[in-house]
Structure 1
Amino acid sequence: MERLKRLRVYFNEMFPLLPRLCLGYIVFLEIYFIVLLNHGVTGGQLLLFDRVEGQSDFISYFIQHDVTGVIIGGFTIFSFLLWLRIADDFKDYELDCRLFASRPLPSGRVHKDDLRIFATILIGVTILLNLIFMRNFIFCLILYTYGSLMAVWFFQKHKIAKSLPLALVTHNPVQIILNIYVISYAIMKYKLPIFDITNLMAVMTLYFPALIWEISRKIRAPKEETEYVTYSKLFGYKKCIDFVFVLTWLDIFTNIVLVWNLNKISVAALLANTVWCSMKFFEYKKDPTKYRIVSKVERYTYIQESMMIATIIIYLIVGKI
């Protein structure tokens, strides 16, 4: 019971379970439906099913459309992100003891063994579920293999831990592999084309927001810099802002390609959101003490992803606009 209490403290502060579980399903379903709708798998096809003898309509639909796979897929995203959170806390333990001593692990309010045992069970359950139920198990294996390499700094801690850019280059592509896990499920389930522009854009669609956020959270005004290594400390905040500005427009390009055939109003809304964020970048370059740029990036991302989800829902209900 004491172990569970300590884990509860950890989750409350570092990884709120219910919101993150919802996030896992949002990520999975957004990519899943964007791929399906762009390949012509529309509402009618998603709703049709044949009655299984001796089964109710609900069970028949559940079986034929592999709803179990969707449930496990969303859980896998949640599980993997939770594992990465735990792995990061282990990797950054020494630094956190100096700079973030109040966090659950450095403060001793949760023990390393608590997290090790929990992570082992979590990974085991997730991989077992994928092995039994998921047709794209190989991609789950690739995802967790890459995550395992991240957890041990790709066996190059002496190089990567000391280099923020090298850590970014080696760790951030995990979002691409996460996207491929979802896309592979959709492709296998509905026998979709493997190599086309839709799948390529879907691979990148959540990679750029993750990359933009990762860089933005480590951009500070010169007088705010501390012992903590940031991109702005290494390259100057103006160059970093210019870089995320370019990434933001690359990001919106992938989104526009994916929603162009679904909803033209969404295209305009996505562009407006990007223009707003770009203006915030310019403001920050003039006065970096005005606000933390990551707060604006987070707002941009929330609005963007809400628009993408709304586009999917509207298309499923009323069709193309």
Structure 2
Amino acid sequence: MSTFQINYDEKEINNSKLSPFSVNGLLKEKSSPEILQSSPGLDKSYLLGTNSFVNSVTLAYNEHHHLIIKPDDIWIAIISQFSIYVNLNAEKLRDKFVSFQGKKELEVTCSGSLRDAPYDVLTILMSTEIAKTIKDASVKDWVIPNFSTTTPTDKIVGSIALMSSLQKYFDYKFRLFCGIPRVTLLGTLDDWKSIKTRAERLSEFDSGDGLMTKWLVMLIPVLTQFIESVGGNVNVGWWNKICHYIGGGSGPTWLSGWITVFTVFDDQSKWLGDTKSKQTFKTIETTEWLFIDTQDIPAGYLSVPVVVDDNGTKYKTKLYAGHMSTNIQQTSIQPRLDWFLKIE
């Protein structure tokens, strides 16, 4: 760090004359857009036009204020201008950056949803994907700052600058998926082995339609993975395939993933176990598991009528039992097994 005197009439800044930062102020939009995420402290800063580097310098000069700048400011100012030039001359410079015509889509994935996804991480991942695809991977590290003053935010800004500079060659996609951070499988290893042994008897009860055998073929790999996980051989990739949703535009939403092996019959006893492809509004989706219309997910509980004879007075009742409620505790969620008896 180096501080030096230029003049001697340093004045205090009157913050009341400055405008707090706002995105609609920066972009000159009348309505306030929804901001999904931003860098830390942005909401506590001030808006000085559309170029805070140049306008900070001119304000410090005109109003006699102490100016603080760092290497990252200078480098990003250079790269911002470089980006404009590259986009203006994208076809002339194509051969310097990529070996293909047109645009390629680059996609990075991460767990999360629209409003809580780690977009900072996704941006850094995208810069890595760019480096894998362009002719000279060193361009990534050339663009992204790496000085003694560089903060994580500076690296994200540099990554976005890289993306912007090469946007004539690439389309960028952040694909978000949900995920389970932690799983607890209660019981012993013998318990989980016993489930598999019990399930193998299903084929004994096949009525001739072959459905019990088909179902067992789907169940065994899933039950085997439970055993492996309890035994310490956890396949994280498999657990991340437990479920996902595919939207059909204005049509239905489909559930897929290995959880669907527990939904092969709907509430009307219809077999759903052969649905491994679906036409969405964009393309034909396929899966190694099943596609289940979310409206067809069967109830997790069963019911059976019972007559209760109370000392000669008979009542029609119905017993309900199964998965019908859930325990929630801090960060944990656990399905419950319950029952109740109801007078009809």
- For Structure 1 versus Structure 2, the TM-score category normalised by the shorter chain is under 0.3
**TM-score for the superposition, normalised by structure 2:** 0.22
Higher relative contact order (CA 8 A, sep 6+): 1
**TM-score for the superposition, normalised by structure 1:** 0.23
Larger Rg: 2
